Amino acid sequence: MIRPSGSRAIAALLAVTFVLLASSCGQTTSATQLPRPAAAPSPPPGGPVPAELLGDWFLPPAAVDAVSSNGTCPSPPNVATCFFRLTFTATNYEQAFTAIGGTTDAGQGGVVVNNNEIDFFSGRICAIPLPGGVGRYTWRLTAGILYFTLISDPCTRSAIYTWGGWSRAL
């Protein structure tokens, strides 16, 4: 036979257990809260480089001497031994210059185009990770010559890109 005081104790214990379970329902504990990985920054909006810009573009020797602090062109400079090259694929760019000492990698990264705006980003030499480090320019083709106009660029590309017109041939 169960005594009344024992059944009151069991009832009280069950009531406390029920309240504790009900109050923790829907809550997470710190042990189950895992840090969420940060989303990778997205490239600037835009699409692939248009067909008319794909391939190699060149600046003449005067551009190398104008933007270089150490006069890297041979004397007298000529197009065979001193030039900048900018190459576009659908989603990337690569820039290099040829001067005394051969060809030097001058950077590469991603590129997107949105109408007449072209954005350079994730540049290896610029080394400012997204969402920073985006060089924004407008572009235009006039009589087969490619021109860039600076919108904004935290990196050092603008001296080269805006120096003058880029041509398909040296």
Helical H segments across the chain, by residue range? 4-24, 61-67, 158-161
Domain ranges of the chain: 51-161
Q: What is the pTM of this model?
A: 0.72
165: closest CA among 135, 138, 150, 144?
144
How much is the mean pLDDT over the chain?
Answer: 80
The dotted CATH code for 51-161 is 2.40.128
Q: For 49-90, how does the pLDDT look when each residue is reduced to its tens digit (9 = 90+)?
A: 999 999 999 988 777 767 665 557 777 777 777 888 999 999
Give the pLDDT confidence score for residue 71 in this predicted structure: 56
Give the pLDDT confidence score for residue 41 in this predicted structure: 84
Residue 166 sits at φ, ψ, to 5 deg, of -95, 135
Beta strand pairing status for 55-59 and 117-121? Answer: unpaired
CA 78 centroid distance within chain: 34
